[in-house]
């Protein structure tokens, strides 16, 4: 450990699906001194998105405005002494969320001619417009002696980098001709803050490159040029390889440039860490342990697992979202799995119940502030009321049974074509009963992931739960424990992704020498442990068997 005489602080920034959050953390005791959040205004209005086509794009201005707002808020709400002792910033983002950039490394949507073109923006992780391209990549990979997708779980996803890139190359000639390269959101932010002006200098994270971008040390980095050009000659419009090095998040990407130091109210001496994906740093913020599945539970789930490199190093787990050396904890093998829709399933049902009511309210002849108050009250109470009602319901083998594939299936065995479904409906099926079945379906999806790891030779000692759902819903968490038959530990931290970023920032700033030391010093410990109700194990197992049997037929 490197001891500093003066106080030291770091900033962790977490770009989520709907907002960006930033926290200012005391680097020696983990205390959160200040925090701030900014909702993306364009995203909130549904701009550049078309759910019927699985198109979900985000404008870089949402990211830039959010960065300036959140960090400025931290700076203005704390003392000058603390601001002077801010040593480093690390950023995590959703992923795979790539964008095309020009030769200066600027996302094309920041240029006037492309400012309203969705193909010039960031392709959010949940964008599935590249399903055809993912299918082609999977079929194409079988033609090569080296299996270039084996470290991506053996199935390349439409959520990921190369599929999205290829789809954009095909559908938009203007974007194709203006593009110098493509970059993940988590890699663009450090490049921006360090004043980058040449796309060739973008530092790529092993986290995004490995899990989403086909990078693996075992086959020499990225697949060879022929892998891409023989798939589609349009790949020849881009430089190959797009990058030749990747870095772990305990590495510095440089120093805050003068332009952004002025915008944020910080010193130019602040170090900027190499970025990473939100779930990976969330697992770190939630104090991930070897062989414990860390579930980051939000709109989707990302299930993270680490094992020491010396343990089962040669095991390849098919059907997951990748296994990469150093992607979560440097020096360990990081595994990723997850569910494409989790909280999104609950949100869909709540919208289904409330949208018509909201339409009536908005059309009512009353003051606008009264309308908004009514809508807000309904939004705040409907999930709580549904959970209370569903918790008291009796259920048996023939009760409503749902499937959680509302945004396809991520793992095991990615399949974006799958759809959600609800079985055993009758005229007695009311909102609480349907809601109960939807929650159960997301828990069954989680159980399937755990069993998949165990079946492939990786033992699971327990589950660590993180994220909004884990903190806000006792109903969901208790059912999860009952369904998987394991205790679930909920970490005390409110913003685990931002805290994980802050932990890495302390290593970047040379305050700690390893991320393990930083986690030990800054970790916030456990909030709650949900113990499984073993009296329900037999019934849930029978219902889970039906979930598997029907799911295999669909």
Q: What is the pLDDT along the chain (554 residues), one digit of tens a residue?
A: 444 446 899 999 999 999 999 999 999 999 999 999 999 999 999 999 999 999 999 999 999 999 999 999 999 999 999 999 999 999 999 999 999 999 999 999 999 999 999 999 999 999 999 999 999 999 999 999 999 999 999 999 999 999 999 999 999 999 999 999 999 999 999 999 999 999 999 999 999 999 999 999 999 999 999 999 999 999 999 999 999 999 999 999 999 999 999 999 999 999 999 999 999 999 999 999 999 999 999 889 999 999 998 765 668 999 999 999 999 999 999 999 999 999 999 999 999 999 888 888 888 888 888 888 888 888 778 889 999 999 999 999 999 999 999 999 999 999 999 999 999 999 999 999 999 999 999 999 999 999 999 999 999 999 999 988 999 899 999 999 999 999 999 999 999 999 999 999 999 999 999 999 999 999 999 999 999 999 999 999 999 999 999 998 76
Q: Are 221 and 153 members of one domain?
A: yes
Cβ–Cβ under 8 Å, residues 126 and 153: no
Answer yes or no: is 407 within a domain: yes
Question: Are 491 and 524 within 8 A, CB to CB?
Answer: yes
For the chain, the first-to-last Cα distance in angstroms comes to 55
| Residue 62 and residue 168 in one domain | yes
Residue 506 belongs to a domain:
no
Residues 551, 448 share a domain: yes
Residue 267 resides in a domain: no
Asked if residue 549 and residue 465 are part of one domain, the reply reads: yes
275 part of a folded domain: no
Residues 203 and 305 in one domain: no
User: Would 478 be classed as within a structural domain?
Assistant: yes
Q: Are residues 330 and 457 in the same domain?
A: yes
Nearest-angstrom CA–CA distance, 96 and 326:
18
238 and 383 assigned to the same domain: no
Residue 26 and residue 143 in one domain: yes
The set of long-range contacts for 263-270, using a CB threshold of 8 Å and a minimum separation of 24, is: 263/68, 263/72, 264/67, 264/68, 264/71, 264/72, 264/75, 265/71, 265/72, 265/75, 265/76, 265/83, 266/71, 266/75, 266/83, 266/86, 267/84, 267/86, 270/86, 270/87, 270/88, 270/89
| Of the residues 184, 218, 245, the one at which a domain ends | 245
Domain boundary among 186, 215, 245: 245
Specify if 79 maps to a domain: no
Asked if 105 and 220 sit in the same domain, the reply is: yes
**How far apart are alpha carbons 291 and 309 in whole angstroms?**
12
* Same structural domain, 427 and 532: yes
Q: Do residues 182 and 323 share a domain?
A: no
Question: 182: which 2 tokens?
Answer: 């493509």
> Which token pair is 335?
């595994």
Is residue 106 in some structural domain?
yes
pTM above the 0.85 mark?
yes
Domains contained in the chain, number: 2
Q: What distance in Å separates the CA atoms of residue 181 and residue 526, rounded to the nearest whole number?
A: 43
Residue range(s) defining the domain that contains residue 426: 289-492+527-554
Whichever domain contains 120, its CATH number is 3.30.420.40
The token pair at 367 is 């003051």
> Are 228 and 301 in the same domain?
no
Residue 522 located in a structural domain: no
């Amino acid at each position: 450990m490197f001891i500093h005489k003066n106080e030291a602080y770091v900033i962790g920034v977490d770009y989520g699906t709907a907002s960006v959050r930033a926290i200012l953390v005391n680097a020696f005791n983990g205390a959160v001194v200040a925090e701030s959040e900014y909702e993306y205004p364009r995203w909130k209005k549904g701009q550049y998105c078309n759910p019927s086509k699985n198109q979900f794009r985000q404008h870089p201005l949402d990211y830039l405005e959010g960065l300036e707002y959140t960090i400025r808020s931290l700076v203005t709400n704390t003392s000058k002494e603390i601001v002077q002792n801010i040593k480093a910033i690390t950023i995590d983002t959703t992923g795979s969320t790539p964008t095309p950039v020009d030769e200066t490394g600027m996302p094309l949507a920041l240029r006037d001619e492309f400012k309203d073109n969705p193909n010039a923006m960031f392709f959010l992780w949940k964008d599935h417009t590249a399903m055809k391209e993912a299918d082609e990549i999977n079929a194409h990979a079988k033609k090569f002696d080296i299996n270039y997708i084996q470290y991506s779980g053996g199935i390349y996803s439409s959520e990921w980098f190369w599929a999205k890139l290829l789809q954009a190359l095909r559908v938009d000639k203007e974007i194709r001709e203006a593009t110098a390269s493509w970059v993940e959101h988590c890699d663009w932010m450090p490049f921006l803050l360090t004043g980058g002006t040449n796309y060739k200098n973008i530092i790529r994270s092993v986290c995004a490159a490995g899990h989403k971008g086909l990078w693996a040390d075992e086959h020499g980095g990225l697949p060879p040029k022929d892998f891409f050009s023989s798939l589609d000659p349009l790949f020849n419009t881009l430089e190959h390889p797009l990058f030749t090095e990747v870095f772990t998040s305990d590495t510095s990407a440089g120093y805050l440039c003068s332009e952004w130091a002025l915008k944020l109210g910080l010193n130019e001496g602040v170090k900027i860490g190499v970025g990473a994906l939100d779930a990976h740093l969330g697992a770190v913020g939630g104090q991930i342990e070897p062989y414990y599945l860390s579930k980051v539970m939000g709109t989707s789930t990302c299930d993270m697992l680490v094992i020491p490199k010396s343990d089962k190093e040669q095991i390849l787990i098919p059907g997951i979202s990748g296994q990469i050396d150093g992607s979560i904890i440097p020096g360990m093998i990081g595994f990723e799995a997850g569910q494409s829709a989790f909280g999104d399933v609950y949100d869909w049902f709540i919208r289904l119940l409330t949208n018509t009511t909201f339409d009536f309210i908005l059309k009512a002849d009353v003051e606008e502030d009264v309308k908004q108050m009514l809508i807000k009250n309904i939004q705040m109470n409907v999930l709580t009321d549904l959970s209370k009602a569903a918790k008291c319901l009796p259920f048996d083998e023939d009760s409503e049974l749902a499937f959680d594939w509302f945004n396809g299936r991520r793992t095991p065995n990615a399949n974006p074509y799958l759809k959600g479904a609800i079985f055993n409906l009758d005229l007695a099926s009311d909102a609480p009963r349907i809601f109960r079945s939807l929650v159960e379906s997301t828990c069954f999806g989680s159980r399937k992931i755990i069993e998949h790891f165990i079946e492939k030779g990786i033992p699971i000692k327990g589950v660590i739960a993180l994220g909004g759902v884990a903190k806000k819903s006792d109903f969901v968490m208790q059912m999860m424990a009952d369904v998987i038959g394991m205790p679930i530990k909920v970490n005390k931290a409110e913003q685990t992704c931002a805290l994980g970023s802050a932990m890495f920032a302390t290593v970047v700033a040379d305050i700690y020498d390893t991320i393990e030391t930083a986690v030990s010093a800054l970790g916030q410990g456990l909030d709650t442990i949900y113990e499984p109700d073993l009296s329900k194990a037999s019934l849930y197992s029978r219902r889970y068997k039906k979930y598997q049997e029907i799911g295999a037929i669909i």
